[in-house]
Amino acid sequence: MACKACLSENQSTFDGELNIHFPERSNLSKPTVWAFPALLICLDCGFSEFKLRETELRMLVEDAATSRF
């Protein structure tokens, strides 16, 4: 599969660790969501993509429903 940004085939998968938090000052007290996705990274342009696990996504959806952005 080619890179979506530069069409290069020079891509590799890496283990990732993300700490996702909600924007704006009013959400500073809201707990962050830790995610550990596999990252697909283009080694030519740096474009990256990942997919969250269902449990991590559900945590974001539930918190987003109670937040005002």
The tens digit of pLDDT for each residue in 13-66 reads: 999 999 999 888 888 888 899 999 999 999 999 999 999 999 999 999 988 777
- Full-prediction pTM beyond 0.85? no
Query: Is the predicted pLDDT of residue 68 greater than 60, yes or no?
Result: no
| Secondary structure tally for the chain: helices H, strands E | 1, 5
- Burial (Cβ within 10 Å: 0-12, 13-18, ≥19) of residue 3: buried
pLDDT of residue 42: 98
Residue 6 pLDDT class (50, 70, 90 cuts)? very high
